[in-house]
Structure 1
Amino acid sequence: MSLLNRVKSLPNGFVWGGATAAYQVESSTKVAGKGKTMWDDYLKAQGRFSPDPASDFYNRYPEDIALSKKYGLNSIRVSIAWTRIFPKGYGEPNQEGVAYYHRLFKECLDRGLEPYVSLHHFDSPQTLFEDGDWLNRKNIDYFVDYAEFCFKEFTEVKKWFTINELISLAYSQYIQGNFPPNHHFDVTSGIQAQHNELVAHARVVNLYKKLGLPGRIGLIHVIQPIYPIDNAPENVHAAKLQDAFMNKFLLDGTFLGYYSDDTMESINEILRLNDAHLEIEDGDLDILAEAAPQNDFFGMNY
């Protein structure tokens, strides 16, 4: 029996939504004071893809929101382009960008769609990217400042995500090499970026709760099941290591607030085999532990 035949109704309060990411849909990357992201110069040099015009959500969002409502959605996930608010990732806010997101959120609410808003969806500011992106601890401070501004400014938003798909960033940037800076099998950077993203997420969650805001906050992981190709012990063990790197390390840090012994046994083996290292600073695990029980929800992409 198909799923559609078995599901006759949805529970009260069910949220039926769609999702977008600012850089993937907005276009208008050079207007209204917007700063560059890590993708702008990279895509121009690559010469294969352009963020302009994309689906022109920046200009056509009223039409898109109307279509969302027409086809039965009651929510939509969008992301804020960090560089529309802070063109360099820090400094004085760009009021044109602030005004745009107020208009977007109002349109959502006026149409009866609740906005679920991501603060970071694969689009670090170019200035911060050039300065190490998530590998630079100072950039975590800038992310927290940006988040605090958004929480206090966009009071119409009651559902927040910190970072979208932490592993997709770390793996694609430093292991697979299909996101800038295109490193391949840079295991030190790949695992350090995961940890630093977790610290950034946790600091923002802790801030949100300290502000006493009447909303909910979480993050989005992409879960990637890992299976051995057969039952050979070496392949079973290889799958266990891959699962730790892709899933367990991030899930432990998010929801346990620490890295379990089993997870760290695998991570340390990966580090040893690749002559790599991970730096966990004093206080990091306290930050993770404080945030872990305060996550209100969990976005799972699969």
Structure 2
Amino acid sequence: MSTHPRQQPLPHAASPDSLERKPAGTLRFPPGFGWGAATSAYQIEGAAKEDGRGESIWDTFSHTPGRVHNGDTGDIAADHYHRYDADLDLMAELGLRSYRFSIAWPRIQPDGTGAPNQRGLDFYRRLLDGLHDRGIQPVATLFHWDLPQALQDRGGWESREVTHRFADYADHVFRALGDRVPTWLTINEPKTVVQNGYLSGHHAPGHQDPQAAYLVAHHLQLAHGLAVRAYRALGGTGRIGPAFNLHPCYPADSSPGTTEATWRYDGYENRLYLDSTLTGRYPQDVLDDLGPDHRMVRGIHDGDLDIISAPVDLLAVQYYTPYYVTAAGTTVRRWPTSEASWQQIYPEGMYDILTRVTRDYGPIPLTVTENGLPTPDTLAADGTVDDGERIQFLRDHLAAAHRAIADGVPLESFHVWSLLDNFEWAEGYDQRWGLVYVDYPTQRRVPKRSAHWYREVIAAGGF
């Protein structure tokens, strides 16, 4: 079992001042490029107890004192469940060609099993019809972290049974909505579930258990593969793939052991998910580091990796930050951060991670399904929101993506995170990531300066 399909030297980060700069107005993306924006169900929908929706682990987590800033919850969020039609009009006004959203599992199966809830399916059918009516291509994610609480009570993602419950849920959704969805994404950011939900504990379900964490990683990968198989078994005519948040890992210095430590760090950040999905192997260095008695290693059954590596049609890449790794296996900061303290602003990382995927795994079609940052947005007296920092961030990251395309990366689309300000998980409503400002007391939507800029970029096919 090889450690990597093509082990390459780890890249050294370039200085932002060294990045290729082109005059304004010269970057044009390919015709038909999918300009989009992204959201997720728990972060925007609200209507937490309406139309038969069951409880998710995020309902439980956010209602637990001390878990989320200010005691915020997703009970109302951006009230998209009731305002989706107006939100669709906003998307059309922005000129979006693609919209990436997620389907709430507890809205379809309140307890994670059994016959689907028709009222839940009907909501997503209305949303999909509205997208098609406006000429916007749907990209639907099956799982964006809102596991039904009833399944968590039965072990959650530590239980192998839940992978099969996910496949059943996916089958119901494919049968009901598959004719309206050209692109499916299976699991959103399994790594974040592992690291934030089971290592640090600051996301639902709030555990701190390394033994459980990587067993969860395996089961999430297995659930992805089972969903792909379910889609193929139904004869789905669209495309399907996973959504991974990938972080380029760079040596922090040239001291002895740093390169090896960086490669190991990369194994947990990137190769654990990429290798298993795209090559049918877990990286041996990660398995060796975990050890033969680890719950993950013992939990890999014969045939699992064949399921995990069921052929996919595309890969969704989400890029936010690089990591700089020391010989001790810790990380250090090299670039300024956004309001999210974990996010270093380094656009060249976008180029590095996109070209790395193509170089190491072949020309699989790619879509960027999340890229963005939080900024200190305020509503001015004249009713505008000036978020120039977001415009600069997106301009620089789109330029890096454009350079990757020019160098042969088959990147088809780019989705800004996020369309709307929303419930930002453990941060509650303290951070604003949207192109559109949400005044939560009134639920009024105000397109920010970045939204107007993005509309012009879409209309021109570049900038």
TM-score, normalised to structure 1, is 0.92
Question: Aligned pair in 2 of structure 1 residues 49, 211: CA closer, same or farther (>3 Å)?
Answer: same
Q: Which residue of 1 aligns with 2:426?
A: none
8 Å CA contact 1:88, 1:128 repeated in 2 = yes
8 Å CA contact 1:89, 1:127 repeated in 2 = yes
Q: Which residue of 2 aligns with 1:280?
A: 300
Which whole-Å CA distance do the structure 1 matches of 2:296 and 2:49 have between them? 39
Aligned with 2:127 (options 97, 100, 104): 104
1:203-222 equivalent positions in 2, closer than 5 A? 203-222=226-245
SS at match of 1:160: strand
Q: Which residue of 2 aligns with 1:300?
A: 317
Question: Aligned pair in 2 of structure 1 residues 4, 201: CA closer, same or farther (>3 Å)?
Answer: farther
Q: Which residue of 2 aligns with 1:118?
A: 141
Which whole-Å CA distance do the structure 1 matches of 2:171 and 2:23 have between them? 42
8 Å CA contact 1:244, 1:267 repeated in 2 = no
Question: Aligned pair in 2 of structure 1 residues 115, 277: CA closer, same or farther (>3 Å)?
Answer: closer
Q: CA deviation at 1:114?
A: 1.2
Aligned with 2:85 (options 62, 75, 91): 62
Question: Aligned pair in 2 of structure 1 residues 236, 6: CA closer, same or farther (>3 Å)?
Answer: farther
SS at match of 2:113: coil
Q: CA deviation at 1:199?
A: 1.0
Q: Which residue of 2 aligns with 1:269?
A: 289
Report the aligned-residue RMSD.
Answer: 1.8
Q: CA deviation at 1:134?
A: 1.4
Which whole-Å CA distance do the structure 1 matches of 2:264 and 2:29 have between them? 38
Q: Which residue of 2 aligns with 1:172?
A: 196
1:224-243 equivalent positions in 2, closer than 5 A? 224-243=247-266
Question: Aligned pair in 2 of structure 1 residues 156, 241: CA closer, same or farther (>3 Å)?
Answer: same
Work out whether 1:139 is the aligned partner of 2:162.
Answer: yes
Which whole-Å CA distance do the structure 2 matches of 1:73 and 1:109 have between them? 12
Q: Which residue of 2 aligns with 1:181?
A: 205
Which whole-Å CA distance do the structure 2 matches of 1:114 and 1:203 have between them? 25
8 Å CA contact 1:169, 1:179 repeated in 2 = yes
Question: Aligned pair in 2 of structure 1 residues 43, 70: CA closer, same or farther (>3 Å)?
Answer: same
SS at match of 2:308: helix
Look at both structures and tell me which one has the larger radius of gyration over its CA atoms.
2
Which whole-Å CA distance do the structure 1 matches of 2:200 and 2:161 have between them? 25
8 Å CA contact 2:43, 2:74 repeated in 1 = yes
Which whole-Å CA distance do the structure 1 matches of 2:23 and 2:281 have between them? 40
Question: Aligned pair in 2 of structure 1 residues 275, 81: CA closer, same or farther (>3 Å)?
Answer: closer
Which whole-Å CA distance do the structure 2 matches of 1:288 and 1:56 have between them? 36
Aligned with 1:156 (options 180, 189, 193): 180
8 Å CA contact 2:198, 2:213 repeated in 1 = yes
8 Å CA contact 2:34, 2:97 repeated in 1 = yes
1:72-87 equivalent positions in 2, closer than 5 A? 72-87=95-110
Q: CA deviation at 1:236?
A: 2.8
8 Å CA contact 2:140, 2:183 repeated in 1 = yes
Work out whether 1:26 is the aligned partner of 2:45.
Answer: yes
Which whole-Å CA distance do the structure 1 matches of 2:308 and 2:284 have between them? 16
Which runs of 5 or more residues in structure 2 are unaligned? 1-19, 320-463
Q: Which residue of 1 aligns with 2:276?
A: 253
8 Å CA contact 1:258, 1:288 repeated in 2 = no
Q: CA deviation at 1:63?
A: 1.0
Which runs of 5 or more residues in structure 1 are unaligned? none
SS at match of 2:72: coil
Aligned with 1:37 (options 47, 56, 63): 56
Q: CA deviation at 1:37?
A: 0.3
AA of the residue aligned to 1:172? N
Question: Aligned pair in 2 of structure 1 residues 275, 201: CA closer, same or farther (>3 Å)?
Answer: closer
8 Å CA contact 1:22, 1:80 repeated in 2 = yes
Which whole-Å CA distance do the structure 1 matches of 2:236 and 2:267 have between them? 34
Q: Which residue of 2 aligns with 1:51?
A: 74
More off after superposition, 118-127 vs 187-196:
187-196
Q: CA deviation at 1:182?
A: 2.2
Which whole-Å CA distance do the structure 1 matches of 2:102 and 2:23 have between them? 31
Which whole-Å CA distance do the structure 2 matches of 1:159 and 1:276 have between them? 34
More relative contact order, 1 or 2 (CA 8 Å, 6+ apart): 2
Which whole-Å CA distance do the structure 1 matches of 2:194 and 2:22 have between them? 35
Q: CA deviation at 1:177?
A: 1.5
Question: Aligned pair in 2 of structure 1 residues 8, 238: CA closer, same or farther (>3 Å)?
Answer: closer
Q: CA deviation at 1:11?
A: 1.5
SS at match of 2:170: helix
AA of the residue aligned to 1:237? E
SS at match of 2:57: coil
Which whole-Å CA distance do the structure 2 matches of 1:58 and 1:52 have between them? 11
Aligned residues: 294
Question: Aligned pair in 2 of structure 1 residues 79, 4: CA closer, same or farther (>3 Å)?
Answer: farther
